[in-house]
Structure 1
Amino acid sequence: MMKSLPLATPPSSNWSAVGSMSMCVALLIASEFMPVSLLTPIAHDLGATEGLAGQAISVSGCVAVLTSLLITGVAGSFDRRRLLCALTATMLLSLVLIALAPNFGLLMLARALLGVTIGGFWSLSTATLVQLVPAESMPRALSVLYLGNAAATAFAAPIGSFAGALVGWRGVFWGLVPLAAAALLWQWRALPSAATRQSQAQAQAQGQVLSLLRRAPVRRAVAGVMLAFGGAFTAFTYFRPFLERHGHADAAQLSLLLLALGVAGFPGTWAAGAQVQRHGEALLRLLPLALGLVTLALPWVGAAHWALALLLFAWGLLNAALPVAWFHWLTHGIADAPEAGGGLMVAAIQLSILLGAGVGGLLLDHVGVTAPLFGGAALLAAAAVSLGDGRRLRGACLPSTRCAAEPPAP
């Protein structure tokens, strides 16, 4: 297992470092999924269908998968602060190129650069938190990290939709550029240097991300992650066309509906952080099941905007809790290889986003506007079934290593 300089009682400055990572997470989420709220104008401006424009999310996911599988093999050779800041700088460059993109090809290239940051940053985030805070503070640190997720989910889509109508979709991405620059500066000042010390054998073990799949509980976890996140993003990527066509929402109504979806991320993240220590296994099983039921209910309420708002709030609540539950499982489930486990987890999530956005786009273009929701609900149900009662995920650490204690049974 990779060893870093011990931080028995982390100083308060380390919480500033956690905050800087949370801001980067917020910008990553906003940048990655901003096309969801701007899908229609991007497609119109670049001469593409909405389903094809949705593949801008898929390409970032594809590159993120490759990056997450490769980065743990080299991470131990670099100062952690420099590596994370380099990834944030890559996101900054991507945002500039997206705002300037004159055609769909350059947009896809810029999104590929964003995928490098997504795969690298998420792969290293959990292992970095382990170095920054003591074990008993990990649930709190994860909650702080995912507050950035909740903030971006809350405000990126409605602000993107509203601002896009005022300044255009390019103006929206230009607005993210100074925020990314501020995040880069904060990270450089707040993150401590964290050069790791490891043997050659340990470096090889950390780099062999796919070797974790030899462990049966890890294989089950990867399957559950891919089904859950794939189902969520099969539906989520195409919420805007669904709300416009099926829900008959105009620009103002669309912004309010997306705001209801996003604001729910705050209580969802907080509730997951408060409950995950005691009920982690139950959350992994119940969250995708409940999310699938809410997704199924959306097409049946028609153009009743108050009902759509309530359902979207519930959807956002459940969706925000999902990554908190899974990354908490990572901190104890694969505690003997946190960076390799983080890379594998991120690869699984990003691959599922790629496939989900791709399948959803095909369903939208060839079946109908509600088809992505039904397809997503089916995948979410399959995720719940694949996990059973959660006991199948136990014993993911090697018997010869020292891992965190298993969570109590639900």
Structure 2
Amino acid sequence: MPLPLYLLAMAVFAMGTSEFMLAGLLPDIASDLDVTVGTAGALTSAFAIGMIVGAPLVAALARDWPRRSGLLGFILAFAAAHAVGAVTTSFPVLFATRVVAALANAGFLAVALTAAAALVPSDRKGRALAVLLSGTTVATIAGVPGGSMLGTMFGWRAAFWAVAALCLPAAAGILKGIPAGRDEVEKTGRPALRAELTRLARPRLILVMLLGALVNAATFGSLTFLAPVVTDSAGLGELWVSVALVLFGAGSFVGVTVAGKLSDRRPGPVIAVGGPPLLIGWPALAMLADEPVALFTLVFVQGALSFALGSTLITRVLYEAAGAPTMAGSYATVALNVGAAVGPVLAGATLGTRAAELGPLWASGCLVAVALLIAFPLLTALTADRSTEILR
């Protein structure tokens, strides 16, 4: 894999740390800004909504920019939003900074996904995406638990300052590793914006985006509210939240690495083999959450399965949107973040039920069930009609 791809992954690490670290900071933010934990959970949805709206919009606006300029501008805007968030005492202002950061992240990721696919041969998009998403999984292993520990020791604002600081070496890496000019596709081979947007009318693209959104909704729904499961259901101290996040991140790294080797040519088996255990795992985690050993084991397994299936489906979005070279990354970003927006909202709504802090885990199981009910008939149909192929 080319060096610029790893430099992009470094930036994704900084952004992934910000997106996921709220899972360990929500109680402190809620207490400091005098809101409920459920309300504070809206910060995760705000970030995701900003990315859903921002990904196609910002990608369309930035399609005439050289990639290096666009990537650099987005990551510096992302850093500035976190600096403002670190000093505010107002929840609405913090909410607004999350939206701004999301717009910057959306633009960056949309361009980065397209750039990553352009850096490798056309049949290695899955592996390139795995390298790029490794920045996210490393964030869940190191960055997110580190942010949680910073929040526990020095307050949640320290974690926001740390993310802003992480953006600076990533920006330097972009300056060094990404060419300043335009590549040949940008100069001569790019279709018109309208032609790229018409790709969204393809049922296969919409369907794969829906499947990716459902799986990622399950992932983000439980991850956002993992801290109360560790501290309340398992009865462990706050520092154990970081342990749970490390295990989830380690599992996600394993999942995205293995899936990256298979998602280009054999995505169907990844979904067929990984889907049922993912479905069983969420309710199993809810029923065994009071047993720390079982809790931590299942957190690792669910991280691996969630990212294996999620990354495979996002890779398929890039394949289905192959005729939209500057917008394909934004479609993949939308699929990922529709799930990230819907998941915490649905999960948060279950906190007030009798299931309490275990509600999000049950909600995740339901979301995966819906995804599999849609996906498995499609997998079966492939043997009968190659023209219906979606998950080959």
Compute the TM-score of the two structures, normalised by the length of structure 1. Answer: 0.87
Match of 1:138 in 2: 125
Match of 1:204 in 2: 194
Q: Which residue of the other structure, out of 356, 363, 372, is the alignment partner of 1:375?
A: 363
The 5-angstrom pairing of residues 334-373 of structure 1 reads: 334-367=321-354, 368-373=356-361
Of 174-183 and 319-328, deviating more is 319-328
Distance in 1 (CA, whole Å) between partners of 2:201 and 2:338 is 19
Q: 1:66 to 1:339 in 2, by over 3 A?
A: same
Offset of residue 392 of structure 1: 8.7
Match of 1:322 in 2: 309
Distance in 1 (CA, whole Å) between partners of 2:265 and 2:337 is 27
Q: Which residue of the other structure, out of 30, 41, 51, is the alignment partner of 1:43?
A: 30
Is 1:16 the counterpart of 2:6 in the alignment?
no
The 5-angstrom pairing of residues 7-406 of structure 1 reads: 15-195=2-182, 196-197=186-187, 202-206=192-196, 208=197, 211-367=198-354, 368-391=356-379
Aligned partner letter, 1:186: G
* 3-state SS of paired residue (2:128): helix
Compute the TM-score of the two structures, normalised by the length of structure 2. Answer: 0.90
Give the gaps of 5 or more residues in structure 1: 1-13, 400-405
Distance in 1 (CA, whole Å) between partners of 2:269 and 2:320 is 15
Offset of residue 329 of structure 1: 1.5
Offset of residue 99 of structure 1: 1.1
Distance in 2 (CA, whole Å) between partners of 1:355 and 1:408 is 24
Superposed CA offset, 1:100-151 (max 9, x none): 1211011111101111122212222222113222234434322221221110
Offset of residue 290 of structure 1: 2.6
- The 8 Å contact of residues 23 and 226 in structure 2, kept in 1 or not, is answered as yes
Offset of residue 29 of structure 1: 1.0
**Root-mean-square deviation (CA), in Å?**
2.4
Offset of residue 224 of structure 1: 1.1
- The 8 Å contact of residues 40 and 50 in structure 1, kept in 2 or not, is answered as yes
Offset of residue 252 of structure 1: 2.9
Superposed CA offset, 1:266-303 (max 9, x none): 22222112222332123245544432211111121142
- The 8 Å contact of residues 232 and 380 in structure 1, kept in 2 or not, is answered as no
* 3-state SS of paired residue (1:236): helix
- The 8 Å contact of residues 65 and 119 in structure 1, kept in 2 or not, is answered as yes
Aligned partner letter, 2:303: G
Q: 1:200 to 1:370 in 2, by over 3 A?
A: closer
- The 8 Å contact of residues 126 and 338 in structure 1, kept in 2 or not, is answered as no
Of 221-230 and 16-25, deviating more is 221-230
- The 8 Å contact of residues 143 and 273 in structure 1, kept in 2 or not, is answered as yes
Distance in 1 (CA, whole Å) between partners of 2:321 and 2:300 is 32
- The 8 Å contact of residues 85 and 97 in structure 2, kept in 1 or not, is answered as yes
Distance in 1 (CA, whole Å) between partners of 2:191 and 2:246 is 49
